[in-house]
Each structure stands twice: as structure tokens, then as C-alpha cells.
């Protein structure tokens, strides 16, 4: 039985449903998809990059990309390759989206004092039916996360400052402290927005 040939446009329209976990924009408009190839057998090769190296959300994003592309009827194997060359920069974003988000500078949505602020975890870890892990906040909303994020969340016990958390994280991942700090702040923001972290010192 001959299945219909999948077009690149079809693949891109699925990829537009896949949001980057750090920036509320899909991976296409963000400029993360460098190349899509569809073979005669409808096997799909995707070359993509990430906004930052050592991004703790890699695994999640790759599996999201596969999940969306997999919904195309007749799709064969999906191969996602992460490439770092050329490196991603804000210039690769769709300009309309970039303006809407107000990039240039990433602005912190929360004013956080690195020395004083001690995030405290809220919610709980649950295992999904497919064995993947999620964090669920007190309103019962679930968020897909990977083990690094859960471990980080577990560390937020309300008695460590952001600086201390970043130190721990950088040691654990053997990554430069400066790079990790940015990841940690982004992660803390996401977890706060998801109501999975509370501020302990703001009462």
C-alpha cells in the first residue's frame, strides 16, 4: 500500500505546535529548526538547535518534537539531530515574534534577590502512565519535566539561596557556574509560573 508523500510544509505545521519550554514561542518561529528532510519512505530527519547549550530541557524538547511529528499520518522514522553549528542567536527568531516578546534583553519577570531569595518547592512529583515524570502543582496542573529538573526542584527546600542552588547545580552538571546561573534563574521562573515553587521570604 502506498502512503501519501509527506510534505515539508506538513512537518513544519506540526512543529509550529511545539513550544520551547523556556520562551513561549514555537520552535519554528524561534528559529530552532535548521533543516527538515523527508525521504521517499516518509522517514523524517530534523536538524535543530537549542537556545542554550546545557539546557536542562533538551530531552523534553526533542521528545515533544517527535511527538508532534509522529501525529502525521503515514510517518516513518523520525530522527532529530541536535546541532550547535551555526549557534542559535536571537536574530534567528521570526522578527514579528521577536518584537512582540520585546527581545533584546531577556527581562526577568520576577525581581529576585539571589542572596536572599530561597525558593521552596510546592506540589508533587507524579509518574505518568508512560513512565515519564511530571510535577503537579496544588491546582492539579501537570508539567512534563526531566530528572534534572526534578532533582533541582527537590533541592528547593526553602533554605538555600539561588546562589547556593546554582553552585550545587553547576557542580552536579560540571558546567561553568555563569552558564548554570542563567539556566537556574530561568528554571526558577518557570517553576514559579507553574506554581511549583513558592517564595519563602516574602511574607
DSSP secondary-structure letter at 119? Answer: E
- C-alpha cell, 140: 492539579
Tell me the residue range of the domain where 134 lies: 119-199
Q: Is 67 left (phi over 0), alpha (psi -120 to 50) or beta?
A: alpha
Pair 91, 134 in one domain: no
pLDDT tens per residue, range 19-64: 887 777 899 999 999 999 999 999 999 999 988 776 666 778 899 9
Percent of the chain at pLDDT > 70 equals 88
> Closest Cα to residue 195, out of 127, 133, 120, 94?
120
Q: 160: part of which helix (H) or strand (E)? A: none
**Statement to judge: residues 22 and 91 lie in one domain:** yes
Q: What is the CATH number of the domain that holds 170?
A: 1.10.10.1150
pLDDT of residue 201: 57
- How many whole angstroms from its chain centre is CA 45? 20
107 belongs to a structural domain: no
Lowest mean pLDDT among 22-26, 102-106, 179-183: 102-106
Q: Which pLDDT score is estimated for 199?
A: 76
Judge whether 106 lies within some domain: no
Identify whether 1 is part of a domain. no
Work out how many domains the chain is built from and give that number.
Answer: 2
* CATH value at residue 85: 3.30.300.130
Residues 148 and 95 in one domain: no
Q: Are residues 15 and 88 in the same domain?
A: yes
Q: pTM of the entire structure?
A: 0.51
For the chain, the average pLDDT equals: 83
Amino acid at each position: 500500500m502506498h502512503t501519501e508523500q509527506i510534505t515539508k510544509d506538513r512537518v513544519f505545521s506540526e512543529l509550529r505546535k511545539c513550544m520551547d519550554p523556556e520562551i513561549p514561542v514555537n520552535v519554528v518561529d524561534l528559529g530552532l529548526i535548521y533543516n527538515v528532510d523527508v525521504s521517499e519512505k516518509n522517514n523524517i530527519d530534523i536538524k535543530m538547535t537549542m537556545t542554550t547549550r546545557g539546557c536542562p530541557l533538551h530531552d523534553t524538547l526533542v521528545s515533544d518534537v517527535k511527538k508532534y511529528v509522529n501525529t502525521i499520518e503515514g510517518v516513518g522514522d523520525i530522527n532529530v539531530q541536535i546541532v550547535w553549528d551555526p549557534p542559535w542567536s536571537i536574530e534567528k527568531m521570526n522578527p514579528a515574534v521577536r518584537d512582540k516578546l520585546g527581545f533584546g534583553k531577556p527581562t526577568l519577570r520576577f525581581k529576585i534577590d539571589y542572596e536572599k531569595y530561597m525558593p521552596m518547592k510546592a506540589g508533587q512529583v507524579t509518574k505518568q502512565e508512560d513512565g515519564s515524570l511530571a510535577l503537579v502543582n496544588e491546582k492539579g496542573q501537570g508539567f512534563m519535566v526531566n530528572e534534572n529538573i526534578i532533582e533541582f526542584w527537590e533541592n528547593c527546600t526553602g533554605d538555600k539561596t539561588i546562589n547556593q542552588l546554582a553552585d550545587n547545580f553547576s557542580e552536579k552538571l560540571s558546567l561553568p557556574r555563569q552558564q548554570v546561573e542563567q539556566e537556574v534563574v530561568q528554571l526558577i521562573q518557570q517553576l514559579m509560573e507553574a506554581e511549583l515553587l513558592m517564595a519563602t521570604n516574602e511574607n
